[in-house]
Amino acid sequence: MAASGEEALDKIATEAIDIVFMDQSMPGMGGIAATTAITSNEKNRTYPGSTLHRQ
């Protein structure tokens, strides 16, 4: 589990990840920006994922 978008990017780069769930309002880089960064890398485009938000 990652507490920020930046931490999620670090984990994806260094760990074997099967699925990604993002909160769009995480501290620092939010889930939408992190998901965009993840999917902009060709090797990451196969991750199933979802961006979540709370009200």
Q: Which residue has the higher pLDDT, 49 or 36?
A: 36
Determine contact, residues 29/5, Cβ cutoff 8 Å: yes
Determine contact, residues 34/22, Cβ cutoff 8 Å: yes
Each residue's pLDDT tens digit, 2-38? 888 899 889 888 988 877 777 777 788 888 888 888 8
Q: Which residue carries 């099967």 as its tokens?
A: 18
pLDDT at 47: 62
pTM: 0.67
pLDDT at 43 over 80: no
| Both tokens assigned to 39 | 């999917």
Nearest Cα residue to 47 out of 23, 13, 6? 13
